[in-house]
Structures are given as C-alpha cells and as structure tokens.
Chains A and B, each alone.
Chain A
Amino acid sequence: MKKISFKKIIKDPYLAIGILIMGLVLLMIIVGFFWTPYDPTKMSASEKLQGISLRHIMGTDNMGRDVFSRVMYGSRVTLLIAMGTIIIGAGLGTIIGAVTGYYGGVIDEVAMRIIDALFAFPSILLALVIVSVFGVGWMQLVVSLGIAFVPSFARIVRGEVLRCKDMDYIQNARLQGVGSLRMIFVHILPNIKGVLASSILIGFNNAVLAEAGLSYLGVGSQPPYASLGRMLSDAQQYMFTRPSYVMCPGIVIVLMVLGFAFLGEGIKRWE
C-alpha cells in the first residue's frame, strides 16, 4: 500500500488535473445545494436571452432564467443520475461478473449469453426502450441507464476474476477451506479494485454523456428543472442568436467528462 501524500499527487499530472477539475465542478454543485445566484426556475420576461454580463455570468435563457443558476442545478442532476447509474450498473455488473467468473460452467454460459445479447444493443437504444415502456422520469432514467451499463462491468469483472482465481494465494485460501462467497468478496474482489475503480470512473463518463444524450432526446429530466443535456437541447435553436446559451452547459459537460477521464487515468497509474 502506497502512502497518499500531497507531493505524490502533485507529481502525477493526470491525478492533479483530474482532482482540480472535479474539485471545481463538485464545489459548484455543493454550493448549488445551498445557494444559487437566482432561483433556477424564476422567469423574467424583460431579461430573455441576455448575453454574458456581471449580472448573469452565463447569460439568460429563452425564458429569462439565469443560465448559471440552472447550470449549478443541472450539473447536480446530471451527476446524481450518473452516480445512480453507476451504483446500479457497477453493483449488479460486479456481482454477476464475479459469480459467473468464479463458478464457470453452465451459469457462466447462460449469464454471459444474456450479457452478450444486452451488449448487442447500444446502451442509449436500450435505455430508450426501457423509458418508453416505463415512462419518462429521472428514476426510470437511472434504472434504465443502470441496466444498460451492467454488461460492460460484468465483462470486466468476470475477466479479472478468471485471471485471479487460479493464482497461488487463492489456491492457498481454498486449501484452508474458505467458502465460495467469502472467497469472491474477501479474497478476489479486493485484488481487482484498481481495475474496478478505473472502470467505474470511465463508466461515470459514459453515464454523464448518456444522460446528456437522453435528456437531449427529451426522455430525461422534466422541465422546468434542468439537467445539462436538457439545457443543451433547449438551447439548440438559439445557437446563432445567443451562442453563450449553448456554450455554457456544453463546456460544463466537457469539463465533467475530462475531469473523470483524468481522474480515472490517474488512479490507474497510482495503483
């Protein structure tokens, strides 16, 4: 186990940049819980589609709502949806991957073929199907994206478990009579946590993009509340008249994705 020291973090540019970007984004989100410059749903007919100014640092939207306040609120929604997605996707995926990888045989065959079938659908399409069956709403969105993310996690974990299960320390533990469940969760999983951690961060990225994509298609969060993807979609038709309205939420999405990517890479190098 390496010691976590400030110096070491600074030395690794990936980790440092990742932490910096995510720190900024998280700071904005956390502040957004307690304070936003304006009420994110407050409309004002006299201040429609204003540009960047001191009064509205990201301008206003087509209903005269403050874009910065909405970005603060929207990134929270986007991040929460991404977290929910990863909890479901990584949780289920890890369990399925570990069990199938460890036991092998028929369970493995059956589960992996189902996963293959899920893989055949692009995750956005899968989520669209689920949303059209269960209706629109952010709970449905989280569940559907979560399910869409299960296959990739199951694959990764299964591969790692297969690799570990014939190693000497596992054989050793087996000789000592350790039970299967304990073997999976206490002996194997902790040893693949590096791979898992970086795939979770990569998954975060994909979840942020998928949320943005789905909200852009109109099946994500419900108005008047914003998520970043939703804002992009609303702003699209004002791209020429008020470019800042499209740019601001777009830049925050890019930052979030970059932050996670750097963080993921950094953690991988740390291990």
Chain B
Amino acid sequence: MIKRRIMRKKGTSLLMVVLTTLTVALSGCSSDKAGDSANSSQETGAGTDTVTSTQTADTTADTQAATTEADDLSKLIVGIPQDIDGLDPHNATGAGTREVFYNIFEGLVKADENGNLNPAVASDYTISDDATVYSFTLRDGIKFHDGSAVTVDDIKYSIERNMGVDGSEPLIRAYSKIDSVNIVDDSHVDIVLKEADSDFLTQLTVAIIPAANEHPDTTPIGTGPYMYVSNSPQENFIVTRFDDYWGEKAYIKDVVFKIESNMDAIVMDLEGGSIDMMARVTSTQANQLSDKFEVYEGTMNLVQALYLNNDVKPFDDVKVRQALCYAVNPQEIMDFVSDGAGTEVGSAMFPAFTKYYMPELNDTYNTDVDKAKELLAEAGYPDGFEFTITVPSNYGQHVDTAQVIAEELKAIGVTANIQEIEWNSWVSDVYSDRKYEATVVGIDASTLSASALLSRYVSDAGKNFVNFKSDAYDAAYANAQATQNDDEKTAFYKECETILSQEAASVYIQDLPEFVVLNKKFTGYKFFPLYVQDIAAIKPAS
C-alpha cells in the first residue's frame, strides 16, 4: 500500500514535471524577449544621451554636420554578429573583425566596391617588369588618428611586423615571399620579393600602423576615415569620424557597432530602433521588416556548388558529373532556398569579380533531364546510382540546397542521401582528408585575385579537395601566373574557368544572396567583393 502511494505521487509528479517543463520553456521564451526589449530600451536611452551631447559639439564646431538636418542622423548603430577578436589589426583573424577594421585601418592600397585596388597610404605605386620590386610613394600629408604624420618607417615597420622579421612565423603566409623592405628616401619605399608574383599587390592591403605606438593591442591607431573611441566586450565597439582623413570624409559622425549575438532578436531590435543597420540577414528576416527599412540585396561573394570528389566512383567519370550538371537546376534551388534571390554561377568564379566572371558559362549545362539520363547510360549507369551528400549542419542554406538537389536528382534515377555533419568534422573529414562523395558548401576568396578561387583546382594543390585533375587546366593556370600582361592573365584565367565548366569539376550553383537592412533614414550602402562594411559611404537620406 505504502509503495503504491509513493508510486502514484511519482506519477503525478512526472506529469507535473512535463507540464512545468513546458511552462518554463514557453515562459522562458517570453521572459527572454522581455529582457531583450528592456535591454534595448535602456540602450536607446543611453544612445540618445550621447547623441545630444555630440550634437551640441557638432553645431558649434562642425558646420558640415549642421547642414545635415535631422539631429539623430549624426549617429549610426550597426549590428554585428560577433564581438571583435582583438584590437591589433595584424593579429585579428575573424572576418567579422576585419569588416569593422576596414573603416579604421588602411594599407598601402585599399579595395573599392568594384574590386579594384586603389592607392591609400601610398599615393602611387609602380611594379617592376619582372614583378619582383613594388615601389610605393607615400601620400603627401597623410596623418594617423593621433595627429602624427605617417612616415616611411611606419610602412617598413608595419610590413615587417607581418613578415615576422623577429624570427616568428609570418602573420600572412604570402609575406614569406618578401625579401626586404627598403626605404629609398623620405617618401619612397620598395618592397622586394624573392620570386616574381604579379598578384602581390592584393596582399598589400594590410594595415599601416605607427611604429611609435607601443601598445597596438590596446590603442588602435590607423589612417582610415573613422578612429577608435572605445569598446566594451560583448557589447559594442565605438568609432568616430577622423576629420583629418586624406580622402573623402565620412558622412556620419558617430558609429556604434553593437554586438547582436541573438540572431533571433534582430527583427525586433531593428523595429525597436536599437540598431539601424544589419548585414547578412536571411530573406525570411528581411521579409518580416516594415517599410521603415531598405533591404539591399547583394551577393555573399562565394561559389556555392555541389562539390564532387573527382577521385571516387562514379564521379571519376566526366559523363556522370556532366549528367548531374544537366539534372540540377540552379534557378529552382534559388526559388526554394531564398525566394528566387541569388546569382547563378557556371564555374568557380563569382560575379563580383566582374573582370573574370563569365556569365556565358551558366549556359554550359541548361537543365535537360533526357540529356542527363543519356549521359548516365553512356557512363554505364542507366538505372542511376546512390551517393551521399555530406553537408555542414550549421549552414542552413547549404542543407536546404542539398535537399532540393536530392529531390531534383530523383528525376534521373539518382538517389542522393544527405548526411549532416558538424562544421569541425566537415573541415577535417571532407576538406582536409577528402573522405567524402559530394558536399554542398560555398567557397570564398581571401584576396582580390582570381587565383584565390582558381588555385585550388591545380592537380597537386593542397586545397584541391575535389581532387580535380586536368593537364590543360594546370597549363592554363601556370601561364596565367607566369605572364605580367594583365589582358593575357585574364584570358588565361578565363580559360581555366572554361575548363572547369566543361569538365564539370563540380556542379556549380550560385553565389548566395546577401541581404543588408538599413534604416531609411540613411542611404548609400555599398556591397564589396570582400568581407567588409564601408561605413564611410553611408549618408543620411535627405
């Protein structure tokens, strides 16, 4: 009897537990939101304080800001998904950190929104005919944020710091190619390479910082349009306009980068006014926003593809790979995954590289199920086959894309099983060990050169995780590297892209869409072919 009563209690208590868990889970959600909005209102409160105080300073000192009518337009709050990983520009590795630092630091050259490298700290440069000596002229009158003039010693110091001259590993791998940095005179510096590299300019966007600054990890000083004010870990990173900037000065005076770690709260924070701008929101989030916001649509600058391991059966047969290309319809994928947004790619080059991108390759394989079946039959798989797509589980778009592909391949009798895998395992199993059949990911470029995307397809390249092998490709790529003539180089790179398309190295799909949301009080957002946010270009909408 006693036992039974205890048991009954246990049973009811279990019911209670289930119900309380549910209640707690549900109320957990709502209390979270309450907390968030409380937070954000607090912050907007604090925000208005700063605005008003800077405003008074503005009206007296800065006539330019006074002409930009509405008061709160001198401040922009930008949401960023993660905290910056350090204040030293040379040691910061996170892409999210680099996109913020683009506004504070500049290199000898600086990328613009079209993918061109323009002189920045240097006013001019020449490259010797054999591409081993890069000569730079220091921009006249350029100043650091602390007011001191930039000198050639600062340039030498900054480049050498990245080379690791003190015996440490170079911070940038390509800098091991540098033989020496020579100061010619007060305004000229030569960078001498050990071997010819006509693409080396793309590496010279690295920040120039003052040699005199003993604590670059706590007091960041650069030459960019904005200068550092303060940062609070996991909260924000504040910058203000640098009025002695050498180029076109920024429009907005104060910019706060606010860390938005809770991606689910973005829509509410935008609507509530605690942030004015957020990059890389999903199409679902963008659709939920009211008309107070402008949604800019660009591309993420990566090549999303169904990457096939060219070493394993049946993908070692070019006909099988081509058959998959005919069966997969990129437009349909875009319709399902991102409401039709996105840009088709036909080879390993994304559209932002206008110089190298070849839109005609998108038509190498127009969806044709019969043709695909024919090719499969010729390859000896008239009844199709089965394979596994390994896809990193943290990338929703890639998982969704894999699902659409699996559905599309059913039409040609090919069964694609999807295996989700955690990101670190993906990097080790798929990317490093190449133990996979197929995978869906996006590959981006680390520098502004075509070789950043194309070098991985060279037969013996360490990054060649698709195991693509083609003598014609290797030859074309070597030619592109060898020539100094820009037109010839471009032609050879284009030949490389054409070979990838014809040989169907992988099933190239699209450059994923990127949505940036900006409050309509502001305008002028620009997309870059690199992972940066150019805040200096944003201005109040008049």
Contact = CB atoms under 8 A, between A and B. Distances in A.
Interface in B281-326: 282, 284-285, 287-288
Interface in B387-405: 393-394, 399-400, 402-404
B417 A222 contact: yes
B7 interface: yes
B422 A63 contact: no
B284 A202 contact: no
Interface string A144-158: 000000000000000
Interface stretch (A67-75, A168-176, A233-241): A233-241
**Chain B interface secondary structure, helix, strand, loop or mixed?**
helix
Contacts of B421: 135-136
B15 A265 contact: yes
B403 A264 contact: no
A265 B11 CA distance: 6
Contacts of B332: 45
Nearest to A238: B284
B21 to A, nearest CB: 8
Contact of A45 (B336, B399, B402): B336
Contacts of A241: 284, 287-288
Nearest to B399: A223
B22 interface: yes
A219 B393 CA distance: 9
A223 B12 contact: no
A269 interface: yes
B336 A268 contact: no
A262 B166 CA distance: 72
A264 B17 CA distance: 14
A224 B11 contact: no
A228 interface: no
Nearest to B394: A218
A64 B284 CA distance: 15
Contacts of A124: none
A139 interface: no
A269 B11 CA distance: 10
A132 B288 contact: no
B399 to A, nearest CB: 6
A41 interface: yes
Contacts of B264: 237
B406 interface: yes
A122 to B, nearest CB: 13
Interface in A231-270: 237-238, 240-241, 254, 257-258, 261, 264-265, 268-269
Contacts of A60: none
A153 to B, nearest CB: 15
Contacts of A219: 393, 420, 422
A268 B133 CA distance: 86
B418 interface: yes
Contacts of B406: 41, 224
B173 interface: no
B8 interface: yes
Nearest to A225: B418
Nearest to A240: B288
Contact of A132 (B287, B399, B422): B422
B7 A268 contact: yes
B234 interface: no
Contacts of A257: 18
B18 A258 contact: yes
A128 to B, nearest CB: 10
A112 to B, nearest CB: 21
B195 interface: no
A224 B284 contact: no
B7 A63 contact: no
A63 B11 contact: no
B386 to A, nearest CB: 14
Contacts of A261: 11, 14-15, 18
A48 B400 CA distance: 14
B81 to A, nearest CB: 15
A88 B34 CA distance: 42
B391 to A, nearest CB: 9
B282 A237 contact: yes
A245 B519 CA distance: 30
B382 to A, nearest CB: 24
Interface string B58-93: 000000000000000000000000000000000000
B407 interface: yes
A90 B418 CA distance: 31
Nearest to A132: B422
B419 interface: yes
Contacts of B129: none
Contact of B419 (A62, A195, A222): A222
- Give the one of A42, A222, A240 with max B CB within 10 A: A222
Contacts of A92: none
A42 B404 CA distance: 10
Contacts of B15: 261, 265
A264 B407 contact: no
Given A41-B407, A237-B282, A218 B393 contact: yes
A254 B22 contact: yes
Contact of B8 (A64, A237, A268): A268
Given A241-B284, A265-B12, A63 B18 contact: no
A43 B285 CA distance: 22
A100 interface: no
Contacts of A50: none
A195 B7 contact: yes
Contacts of A41: 403, 406-407
A41 B416 CA distance: 13
Given A63-B400, A241-B287, A222 B418 contact: yes
Given A202-B11, A268-B8, 16 more contacts: A43-B336, A45-B335, A63-B403, A132-B425, A136-B420, A198-B11, A219-B393, A219-B420, A222-B418, A224-B403, A224-B407, A238-B284, A254-B22, A264-B11, A265-B8, A265-B15
Q: Which 7 A-B pairs have the closest CB atoms?
A: A265-B11, A218-B393, A224-B403, A45-B335, A223-B403, A223-B418, A43-B407
Interface of A: 41-43, 45, 48, 62-64, 132, 135-137, 195, 198, 202, 205, 218-219, 222-224, 237-238, 240-241, 254, 257-258, 261, 264-265, 268-269, 271
24 contacts: A43-B404, A45-B335, A45-B336, A62-B284, A62-B400, A63-B404, A135-B425, A136-B393, A136-B419, A136-B421, A137-B419, A198-B11, A202-B14, A205-B18, A219-B420, A222-B419, A224-B407, A237-B282, A254-B22, A257-B18, A261-B15, A265-B12, A265-B14, A269-B8
Interface of B: 4, 7-8, 11-12, 14-15, 18, 22, 264, 267, 282, 284-285, 287-288, 332, 335-336, 393-394, 399-400, 402-404, 406-407, 417-422, 425
